[in-house]
Structure 1
Amino acid sequence: MSVKTLFSRAGILVLVAVSSWSSIASDFLVSTDWLEKNLQDPKVRLIEVSVNPGVYERGHIAGATNLVWHTDLVDTVKRDIVGKEQFQQLLRKAGVSSDSTVVLYGDTNNWFAAWGAWIFDIYQVPNVKLLDGGRSKWEAEKRPLTIAQKAAKPGNITLGEPDYSLRAGLKDVLEIAEKRSDYGLVDIRSKDEYEGKIFAPAGVQELAVRAGHVPGAVNVPWGSAVAADGSFKSKEELKQLYAAVGIDGSKPVVVYCRIGERSSHTWFALKKILGYDVRNYDGSWTEYGNSVGVPITNVAGTVWGGK
């Protein structure tokens, strides 16, 4: 069913009939159609955040700057997010200014692009959006890619002080697990990870010596929030999905996964699309499951064998 949607382009208010709530640029999402039509807009700054080596170099959306998750968006010495000065320098080099519209996209279902969106939010960068469906949807629709890399005109963005209310740490999660019922906890990993049948997905390097989940956490695998093409489900569908496990916006929520990237995707769904009060625990299970003296729930009863 068509709905009427308003948006502003070049200072003119336009009334558009669209087929779904996410078919044009929203506050936090853009469709593949919208992006292709706006690639030449100098105020649109496109940034790819993919995790697989060589993906950007083999072909990317025209005009996109590449940010490497494990070197550009994290502190490579401390296990921490990128520092303010380094991040500001990266964004200016990518052509981001105070009046830019930043569109993030990436591989692996936008996990790391969503991580990027979380970092942008921590540093209070305005007007940041995610390409709904990411690289996979763009490629599936056979939209153009290029190997050409063109340096952007330097931007003038000035970052604010980091807003750490968007981030949870081990101390916060432990307190919720042991004595706070005024917070919700959402484990977005697979059912087998949550129940402790496996320590981590096959082939990954970041491991914990214990399996299971944080006591009190509910399990909503990140993939439950997306449609077959990788785009987010409708707002109403997302509300129903999380309300079914008691996550309805009535209290703050902490989300976690294994290293914080999949949980960033759920953070985006809950925070940006539904407007809930959500914090991402980026230490996630590799920190919590390796910590001494913290409680876990392990339904499967597995014990680490040292292999």
Structure 2
Amino acid sequence: MSPLITAAELRDASAVVVLDATWNLMGPPGREAYDAGHVPGAHFVDLDTELAGPPGEGGRHPLPDASVVTELLRRTGIDAGSEVVVYDAANSMAAARARFVLRYYGVENVRVLDGGFAAWKAAGGEASTTAPADVESAFEAVPGSLRVLDAEGAAEIASQGVLLDARAPERFAGEVEPMDKVAGHIPGAVNAPTTGNVSADGRFLPAEELRERFAALGADGSQPVGAYCGSGVTAAHEALALEVAGVEVPVYVGSWSEWITDPNRPVATGRD
């Protein structure tokens, strides 16, 4: 099954749990956009408090505690057999993080609405301003269903395979750094801005185009591949794009914001 679902497919689906993960790194809060209009029946999920733990030594968006995810699953009625669709405003950056977290904690059937809420509206989908009531399930989140990378694992892939850095070129190069205290990238990493995974309307490029894009960077599955970014959000989008292309990769969840917490870890700059 594709990790993506179209707006038309979602409209025709039944018994699907829909989650709105709309989030903006620089604001305004995603809840405001959700309240202004969302897919009917969609539950809002907050990336900062439900899809990430408190910032600290583990980076700006470490994985949330299992108890937090358990509460999320139970209030939205997700159980072991649920079909889940997650979306955000358009480009699926936050939705990819939501899918990653849910799958890491044991929810198997999770797809991303390709093109997000913008695609839903473009396809004639209705918008609701009513939040659904909480429902109940007995699902318990158990970590470990997906392989993830720590700093050492990321460094190993950077030296022996292809570690993709999903940030913008200027952040990769260390020319600017709006979020973290240190600029640059993990030595040996290859820049693959996640914005290149989608078209102007926020939909993912066709699988063949994504395969060609990643193959040109050496990420064709013939050697170890991993993904990271600033704090583990857009890295999940990179991993999703790679999955669409047919390559399964682990994510370094702590990403750059965790890497730099240890001053002994090396830092590279420049676009090469």
TM over 0.5: yes
Among 248, 252, 263, which residue is 1:292 paired with?
A: 263
Q: Which amino acid aligns with 1:298?
A: T
Structure 2's unaligned 5+ residue stretches are none
Structure 1's unaligned 5+ residue stretches are 1-25, 201-205, 301-307
Deviation, 1:290, is: 4.5
Among 169, 181, 204, which residue is 1:208 paired with?
A: 181
Separation in 2, partners of 1:58, 1:298: 42
Aligned to 2:45: 67
Decide whether the 8 Å contact of 1:208 with 1:285 is kept in 2. Answer: no
Deviation, 1:104, is: 0.4
Q: Which amino acid aligns with 2:89?
A: D
Decide whether the 8 Å contact of 1:257 with 1:263 is kept in 2. Answer: yes
Deviation, 1:143, is: 2.7
Decide whether the 8 Å contact of 2:239 with 2:248 is kept in 1. Answer: no
Decide whether the 8 Å contact of 2:90 with 2:119 is kept in 1. Answer: no
1:171 aligns with 2:152: yes
Aligned to 1:45: 17
Q: Please give the per-residue CA displacement for 1:75-106, whole angstroms capped at 9, x wherever unaligned.
A: 23764312223312211210112221100001
Q: How does 1:87-106 map to 2 (within 5 A)?
A: 87-106=69-88
**TM-score computed with the length of structure 1 as normaliser:** 0.78
**TM-score computed with the length of structure 2 as normaliser:** 0.88
Aligned to 1:109: 91
Decide whether the 8 Å contact of 1:251 with 1:277 is kept in 2. Answer: no
Q: Please, which moves more after superposition, 103-112 or 256-265?
A: 103-112
- Please identify which structure carries the higher strand content: 1
Among 79, 84, 101, which residue is 1:119 paired with?
A: 101
Decide whether the 8 Å contact of 1:208 with 1:290 is kept in 2. Answer: no
Q: Does the residue aligned with 1:199 lie in a helix, a strand or coil?
A: coil
- 1:189–1:196 distance in 2 versus 1, CA, 3 Å: same
Residues matched between the structures, number: 261
Q: How does 1:1-307 map to 2 (within 5 A)?
A: 26-38=1-13, 41=14, 43-52=15-24, 53=29, 54-76=32-54, 79=58, 80-107=62-89, 109-141=91-123, 143-163=125-145, 165=147, 167-177=148-158, 180-181=159-160, 183-200=161-178, 206-209=179-182, 211-270=183-242, 272-299=243-270
Q: Does the residue aligned with 1:157 lie in a helix, a strand or coil?
A: coil
Q: Please give the per-residue CA displacement for 1:13-36, whole angstroms capped at 9, x wherever unaligned.
A: xxxxxxxxxxxxx43111011112
Separation in 2, partners of 1:229, 1:108: 7
Deviation, 1:118, is: 0.8
Q: Does the residue aligned with 1:186 lie in a helix, a strand or coil?
A: strand
- Structure label with greater radius of gyration: 1
Decide whether the 8 Å contact of 1:47 with 1:67 is kept in 2. Answer: yes
Decide whether the 8 Å contact of 2:47 with 2:94 is kept in 1. Answer: yes
Q: Which amino acid aligns with 1:149?
A: A
Q: Does the residue aligned with 1:88 lie in a helix, a strand or coil?
A: helix
Separation in 2, partners of 1:199, 1:173: 21
Task: Among all aligned residue pairs of Structure 1 and Structure 2, give the percentage whose two residues are the same amino acid.
Answer: 31
Separation in 1, partners of 2:139, 2:204: 29
Q: Which gives a bigger RCO, structure 1 or 2 (Cα 8 Å, sep 6+)? A: 2
Separation in 1, partners of 2:252, 2:145: 14
- 1:161–1:284 distance in 2 versus 1, CA, 3 Å: closer
Q: Please give the per-residue CA displacement for 1:183-231, whole angstroms capped at 9, x wherever unaligned.
A: 310011111112221123xxxxx3132x222111111111111122211
Deviation, 1:276, is: 2.0
Deviation, 1:144, is: 1.6
